[in-house]
Structure 1
Amino acid sequence: MGSATRSALATAKAALDAEKGTTLATGEELLAAARALAGSPQLRAVLADPAIPGAEKSKLISAAFARVGAGAGRLLAVVAESRWSSSDELVAGVEELGIRAIAGADAADSIEQELFSVGRVIGSDAELELALGSKLGDPAAKGRLVEKLLAGKASPATTAILAHLVQSPRGRRIGELISLAARIVSDTAGRLVATVTTAVALSDAQVKRLGAALAAQYGREVLIDVVLDPAVLGGIRVQVGDEVVDGTVSSRLSDLRLQLAG
């Protein structure tokens, strides 16, 4: 992420925080705008062009998305007026803004847990993962498939986020998409997500102790997402954002092989 994008994203998040009564519909409109921008290279290029005045870009995006609600319209104008490091990062910024708007309008706790649960289900079903993650197929049909699969099983907020992600992967794997969305939702609620990979299930007491230890280290509440992977053999691998602590047996064996080979 470029420095211009970091600044633009901070401005956009501040504008979202200033909005009163943000609704699920606002978030859905922003996600729809992100998909539209992803499919329009020319519009993306103009909006990301630093040589074009922000006021002109604001008028352009307002005209392009004239049918969105007032809240989404104001936020898109802020995005257009800001300077972004690239057109791709502008799209990612609108997507993040949409996910944050949805998380702020609903119970973030339930969204996080539902995202984790759906991610595990998809990861354990190769056929479903292929159907949702393949570059082939109609994006809208994938969105409808998600809505059908989650009907009555997940909140409208979680369904909206997942339906968007499968329609607009932009070269990302489905598991990566869900993990990113969960981190955004957690950050909106002031929390961090720790992905813990282990060969065997952790007890509730172990999860609680690990969460407390990580919270003390990072100074924020940490939500634990446990991923079972027999291939790690033993020990655990903990990832918080870009930081990884790998204490698995498989990792140690790999290190030993490298040492022996050297």
Structure 2
Amino acid sequence: MLAQLEGFAFAQLSALDAPSQGAVADELAALEQSVLSNPQLRALLGDTSLTGVTRAAVLADLLADKVRATTSRVVTYAAEHVPAPEVVSSLGALAHAARLQHENTSTDFVNLSLLEARRRVYGFADALLETVDVANFSAIEDELFQWARAVEHHDDLRRLLLDRDAPLEVRLNTTNALLVGRVNDTTLALARFVVVGGRPRDVVGTLDALVNYVAALRDWRVARVHTARELDQASRDELVSSLAALTGKSVELEIDLDAQLLGGVLVEIGDLRLDATTRGRLAALRESVNSSHFYESALTRND
């Protein structure tokens, strides 16, 4: 199973009681069989021309009110993040993982490479942070950074957490003893999973990578909208809906009024820049005209 999906599914299933975990496992197994018996749906999920966000949206519509919320979340996450040719097989892997987690109370993860282990932690973070107010992200980043520095600079603590032979329960109890009541619950859960699902020798590196990952998630959850005039509520709602469909995430708007844009909006979210301003269109037109003049001059010289 994709490491990031493994982390996400583990977080989602860990929030359920045992009977609910079993029910989700049954739904995932039934869904896999339904997809395997439906050539059209199987082809759609394996269509490499579709974006992951589109595949996830299609599955979310198909599953609405038919399965538990957790089942829908892990399946749509798989559709968005797993390469298209592997989406169908990932459903079976999810069903198997859910069944194991339901039947086995111990937490044993296969040892992965450094980068794959970090991706497993990222998936866990995705699950936890999807319901966290984006206003809290900065505090989580700071608390994770401070914890990384504490581990890095205290020899006994670092020696214990990086010791792969030390019992997992001891490492988790130490993490709890030092963080409970000092950081918020999300930070604590992330710090614990770095111990559980990451590589023991890479605790500090994974924590630092997680700080950057949370910061990147924050950038994709907040859209900076530059506009020449104030947007009414209907326009805001339409923009939020469009950006959510584009990114597959819930989005908050930060509005910046800039009369120099003349009209329209400029949206910056994550590493995307969407320029629909009047000034932007005029600049594009000017560039096009200048380019045309260049080619006309070149043709004239060749004549």
TM-score (norm 2): 0.38
Rg larger in structure: 2
Structure with the larger helix share: 2
